[in-house]
């Protein structure tokens, strides 16, 4: 049985880290009709991994776009890998059980392919409160049961630093399938990436453009020009070479497709990767999980 489970796990890991599943279309900040239009366009361009979350408040629209793409014959449900996440307000054993049911209803799906704990902290506690660790553990226990019930194929975490992962691994024999974390040349997370690789946890990067701030960086602009690609494509390619998975987003249909083109572009040379790495200053443009106990 263990051998069968190991083979199944490795098959799933190999599939999600291969093209086109390794490049997810993210839906953060997408609202209203933009969600339907951009998710549908992403699927048309070739994306097969769609990322949403309870806190994004757009799961219903994501579900509508997915079903339209299926009805129009662009894809089947089996072609897609759908990820959603429970919010800090939904942390806890009972809360997590209810949260996934609500997400599935909004998405109009029987299951998701991956369900993540969005943040290591819990809304009703301060970041330095040790209760965060206890509630996280209860939430993870619930996710394991949800996986056994077939409501999610895989379970994982987001914004977990090494300390959070060590806490989880000390209290559970079940490892996260994915850890989704902010990653860009000004925040390269070398220690965290190495820890995830050692433990067999897929590192999924998000915010590879540094919330757009790195598009104006002189080094990025110059290196992109030398490679004859757009600055955004340079940053996406860097992230894909530093992490097995990447989630990127756009509200522009043409950029959605140009972002997807990075999968067919050659890898960046080692010297370019090194120059981008040297921009690191441990700068968070999104949130800083290090503050959460």
Query: Which residues have a catalytic role annotated?
Result: 56
Rounded to whole angstroms, the Cα distance separating 194 from 175 reads: 15
Q: How many CB atoms lie within 10 A of CB 176?
A: 27
Indicate if the alpha-carbon torsion angle 135, 137, 138, 142 is positive or negative: positive
Burial bucket for residue 35 (CB in 10 Å: 0-12, 13-18, 19+): buried
Rounded to whole angstroms, the Cα distance separating 214 from 165 reads: 29
Please answer whether residues 165 and 191 qualify as being in contact, where contact means their C-beta atoms are separated by less than 8 angstroms.
no
Please answer whether residues 132 and 292 qualify as being in contact, where contact means their C-beta atoms are separated by less than 8 angstroms.
yes
Rounded to whole angstroms, the Cα distance separating 142 from 116 reads: 12
Give backbone dihedrals phi and psi of 64, rounded to 5 degrees, phi first. Answer: -60, -45
What does the block give as tokens for 141?
A: 């226990």
Burial bucket for residue 24 (CB in 10 Å: 0-12, 13-18, 19+): buried
Residues 6+ apart with CB under 8 A from 221: 231
What radius of gyration do the chain's Cα atoms show?
18
Give backbone dihedrals phi and psi of 276, rounded to 5 degrees, phi first. Answer: -70, -40
What does the block give as tokens for 36?
A: 């339907």
Please answer whether residues 65 and 116 qualify as being in contact, where contact means their C-beta atoms are separated by less than 8 angstroms.
no
What does the block give as tokens for 227?
A: 């490679």
């Amino acid at each position: 049985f263990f051998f069968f489970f190991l083979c199944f796990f490795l098959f799933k890991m190999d599939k999600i880290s291969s093209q086109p599943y390794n490049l997810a279309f993210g839906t953060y900040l997408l609202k209203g009709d933009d969600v339907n239009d951009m998710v549908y366009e992403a699927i048309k361009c070739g994306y097969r991994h769609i990322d949403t979350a309870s806190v994004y408040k757009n799961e219903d629209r994501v579900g509508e776009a997915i079903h339209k793409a299926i009805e129009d014959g662009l894809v089947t449900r089996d072609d897609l890998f759908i990820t959603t996440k429970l919010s800090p307000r939904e942390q806890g054993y009972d809360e997590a059980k209810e949260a996934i049911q609500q997400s599935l209803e909004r998405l109009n799906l029987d299951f998701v392919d991956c369900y993540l704990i969005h943040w290591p902290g819990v809304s009703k506690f301060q970041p330095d409160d040790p209760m965060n660790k206890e509630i996280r553990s209860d939430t993870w226990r619930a996710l394991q049961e949800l996986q056994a019930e077939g409501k999610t194929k895989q379970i994982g975490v987001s914004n977990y630093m090494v300390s959070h992962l060590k806490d989880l691994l000390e209290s559970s024999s079940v490892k996260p399938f994915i850890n989704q974390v902010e990653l860009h040349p000004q925040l390269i997370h070398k220690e965290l990436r190495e820890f995830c690789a050692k433990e067999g946890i897929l590192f999924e990067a998000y915010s590879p453009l540094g919330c757009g701030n790195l598009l104006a960086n002189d080094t990025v602009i110059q290196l992109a020009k030398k490679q004859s690609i757009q600055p955004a494509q340079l940053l996406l390619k860097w992230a894909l070479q530093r992490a097995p998975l990447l989630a990127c987003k756009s509200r522009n249909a043409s950029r959605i497709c140009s972002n997807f083109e990075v999968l067919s572009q050659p890898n960046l040379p080692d010297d370019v990767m090194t120059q981008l790495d040297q921009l690191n200053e441990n700068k968070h443009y999104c949130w800083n999980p290090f503050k959460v106990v």
